[in-house]
Amino acid sequence: MLRRLAASTAAASLVVTGWALPARADALPAIPPQAPRITDIDGYPQRNTLPVWPDNPADASLPIGVIPYDDIAPKLNALQASSDRVSARVAGRSSGGYDLYVVTVTAPESRAEAQRQERWKRQIEDDPVRARADRKLLSSYKTPLFVNANIHGNEWEGTDAALRVIEEYSTSTDPAVETLLRRNRLVFNVTSNPDGRVAGTRANANGYDLNRDLTIVSQPETNLIRELAVGVKPIITLDLHGYVSPTLLHPSTPPHNVNNEYDLFIKHALPNALGIEQGLKDLGYAETQSARIPFRDDEPGVWDDFPPIYVPSFSLLQSSIPYTIEAPLNPRGNLTPEEKRRRSGINTDVHEVAIKKSLQYIQDHRTRVIFDQAEVYRRGWAGEPLRDLPDGYVPGWGPEDDYRTEFPRSYVIPAGDRQHSEAAAARLVDLLIGSGGRVWRAERSFRAAGRSYPGGSYVIDLHQPKRGIVNSLLEPGADITERVSDLYAGPAAWSQGLTWGATVDTLWNELPRVPLERVHDGVARGGHPDGRAGYRLDPQDATDLRAVNALLAQGAQVYRLADGSIVVPWSPKHQSLVAASVREFRVTFERAPRHWSGTLLDPVVVAFAGTVEARDTLAATGFAARQVTPATLATTLTDDVDVLLVASTLNPATLTAENRAALDAFLARGGGVVGLETAGPAFSNAAGLLSVTAHAGPGLASGVVNVVNSGGAVTSGALPHSFVAQPVWYTGLGAGVNIEQAYAADPLLSGWWAPATGPGGQSEAAGQAAIVSGTTAAGNGVVLIGTDPIWRLHAKGLQSQLGRALLWASQR
């Protein structure tokens, strides 16, 4: 039985995976540029001639009957030439090198009018109380609508609907359209995944699902989406997808993100969804006579909006009213050309209805939606608690929907010796600012909550307009295991404050009393000691590993100590190389211990069996790497390979004789092995390396876990928490197997891991090994890791543990 009210009742009560690496796989997340000066803002239209791409008969759009990528720029160029309502620009490049098109449709604005619109947009966030009382703003502000189309490349029709609306509104002589464009700006990300559009794949050319990347921002396409979500400040955001029948549209089921001002969202999101549903019925197709609205129609967890990794979930934390729209008819597969075109045509109509109905909703409730967007910001500035909503707040709202957090007063990201990783801290600050948050730097030292902090520490005052996204990124998260029996997808907790490798302190009741300067990016300065004592680097971040690998590539003598740190002896050459490393990577070397001994390292070559996450994590840590498969071991596992990373299934028993011989030769010469999750121990046991028994939790179990580190070469200095996306732990450890890290007695800090007890549950993992290491009789260094250092490039703070494991295993 569905937990929600029937549609009629609710309505009555509511008026490729490509192999090419990114240009900078090791780059910190890009951040949107600082807002331009008001005086630099130009009027509309802002015409740009878009480069035209050559005809591509292999474009996967063509059989579906939708517009091929190479026809988009000519169409937009023609519309710009014929209309003063269309402004198109190339706003970036996809991972595969295609142009990303952003189009603004609005009535013409003089430069002075455009600058006034920008002042009003900023005022709504910066001074919401004044904005809500400004009659001129309420009557003349151009309310923004943002349409993000085709984020999944083989879900095409959102692009066609966007182009249809752009063309209609740019050419219409209907007075209603003219009025609409005087009161609104429509912003379209026309195809946010052109790589996948052309190739017919869900993912981009780098192999990533872009609709899982909004809090990681590892891809150029999601950087643009984030920039638009933050900068446009849309009243409504539409993310256009396919294919779920009947048409699916938000709002979603619980669990809801605990940082949302859900009362201000749901009171608009549900009635607009019902309006879209009616618009679909009015199309007259048999396939559009009903819609699926998860909040109304599904059980908790079936289609939730919990993690802010999706475009709508991220946008909701930006004070937008967001929707995923899943068009109903799949045009892929073994269908006639006519049927493919019929289905894609209906899907395009569906998305057009969603755009137009949402725009109409904004117009019908104009003052209220502006007021409520500003109200989100006002509550943030005031530091008010989240609202406790009564059952029946909207039809179907019940106790299962009550997800709230308590906001601390502030956070401090320390500088100096109290900071675990200066590079990680800078990256985290960039993420917060790029996501719409505000960060300050202390101008001098201070004390807070009984602790001393040096000047230069970052301070995050949570009395700020977008506190929801800031707190969602920094707080540990919630354990929702007992509240919901299902999830649409993980992660069930994320906490970049805990999993990105930086030290972050929570101040529940205090804002440090110290002069603060607002900053617009994170800065890691790095440094090295003077004198001739040698240089020690403790790799606690991927940046540190890149520096180590760069030094090795430049011929420096680099020694690994027993605790996993490295030492470069002093010499004039080394002094120059270390100084250059500090300038390039902003890492911090300390004075080497007076009496040290270690293993001299050589440059490390890693062969990996795995996917794009393994590839890009190795790139982020600076290792020379090549992919291997069970069919290519003979040609890729050559004599120069030092360590084999097993991140996907590699079964020695199923190899051909030639490939098995290559593996045996690699192991016989003492090649190292690092294995992840269950694939690693399965390979280790089959190859006769370390003897362990691997156990796995449920597939959707994910979140932030408490761990205990042993102080060995892999986890020395690591933080006491980790990340899992299906937890794995090891028992039955054979002789010589050392525990590098174990799950704590209470493993799950935040997330979802059901059952709490029983097979695969938290109680079984408690106290068991999460990372183990050992050396075989043949001299193979082996490390097995049951946490998730590579999953979607998510837990960047764990990347250094993988890098340390590779260094340890590669050279014994």
What local confidence, expressed as pLDDT, does residue 219 receive? 98
Give me the residues paired with residue 609 across strands. Answer: 646
pLDDT at 29: 42
> Which tokens sit at 22?
């990114």
Q: Report whether pLDDT(17) > 90.
A: no
The rounded mean pLDDT for the chain is 94
Q: List, by residue range, all CATH 3.40.50.880 domains of the chain.
A: 607-810
Q: What is the pTM of this model?
A: 0.95
State the CATH architecture for 53-382: 3-Layer(aba) Sandwich (3.40)
Closest alpha carbon to 44 in 80, 90, 92:
80
Q: Which of 227, 326, 475, 740 is catalytic?
A: 326
**Rounded to 5 degrees, what are φ and ψ at 689?**
-95, -95
Q: Is the pLDDT of residue 26 over 50?
A: no
Give the pLDDT confidence of 432-480 residue by residue, as tens digits.
Answer: 999 999 999 999 999 999 999 999 999 999 999 999 999 999 999 999 9
Measured CA to CA, the distance from residue 173 to residue 736 in angstroms comes to: 80
Q: Where in the chain is the domain with CATH 3.40.630.10?
A: 53-382
Reduce the secondary structure of 630-648 to three states and give it as a string. CCCHHHHCCCCCCEEEECC
Average pLDDT over residues 372-384: 98
Indicate the burial class of 530 (C-beta count within 10 angstroms; 0-12, 13-18, 19 or more).
exposed
| 664-705 tens-digit pLDDT | 999 999 999 999 999 999 999 999 999 999 999 999 999 999
**pLDDT of 80-119, one tens digit each?**
999 999 999 999 999 999 999 999 999 999 999 999 999 9
- Paired residues of 507 in beta bridges: 410
In this model, does residue 30 exceed pLDDT 90? no
339 is catalytic: no
Residue 34 pLDDT level (bands cut at 50, 70, 90): low
- ∠ Cα 311 21 492 (to 5°): 35
Among candidate residues 786, 803, 769, the one with its CA nearest the CA of residue 701: 786
In this predicted structure, what is the pLDDT of residue 23? 35
Tokens of 539: 């790799």
Residue 172 has pLDDT above 60, yes or no: yes
Query: CATH fold of 607-810, please?
Result: Rossmann fold (3.40.50)
pLDDT for res 755: 82
From 703, 719, 699, 725, select the one nearest 785 (Cα to Cα). Answer: 725
13, 418 Cβ separation under 8 angstroms? no
- % of the chain residues with pLDDT over 70: 96
Sequence-separated contacts (24+) of 109-116 with Cβ below 8 Å: 109/43, 109/44, 110/43, 111/41, 111/42, 111/43, 112/43, 113/43, 114/41, 114/42, 114/43, 114/44, 115/38, 115/39, 115/41
**Where do we find the tokens 């979607």?**
792
Cis preceding linkage at 251, omega within 30:
yes
Surface-to-core class of residue 463, CB atoms within 10 Å of its CB (0-12 exposed, 13-18 middle, 19+ buried): middle
Q: Which of 212-216, 308-312, 555-559, 757-761 comes out lowest in average pLDDT? A: 757-761
Q: Which carries the bigger pLDDT value, residue 14 or residue 305?
A: 305
Give the residue with greater pLDDT, 286 vs 35.
286
Residue 82 is inside which H or E element, if any? Answer: helix 72-82
Give the pLDDT confidence of 509-532 residue by residue, as tens digits.
999 999 999 999 999 999 999 999
Torsion of CA 419, 421, 426, 431, to 10 degrees: -100
pLDDT digits (tens, 9 = 90+) for 569-594: 999 999 999 999 999 999 999 999 99
Cα–Cα distance, 809 to 781 (Å, whole number): 4
Determine the Cα–Cα distance for residues 111 and 37; give it in Å rounded to an integer: 13
Q: What is the pLDDT of residues 698-753, one digit of tens each?
A: 999 999 999 999 999 999 999 999 999 999 999 999 999 999 999 999 999 999 99
Nearest CA-CA partner of 519 in 441, 586, 454, 455: 441
DSSP result, 544-607? HHHHHHHHHHTT---EE-TTS-EEE---HHHHHHHHHHHHHH--B-EEPPSS---EEP---EEE
Per-residue exposure over 431-449, b if at least 16 CB sit within 10 Å of its own CB, e if not = bbbbbbbbbbbbeeebebe
Buried b vs exposed e over 12-49: b needs ≥16 C-beta within 10 Å?
A: eeeebbbeeebeebbebbbbbeeeeeeeebeebbeeee
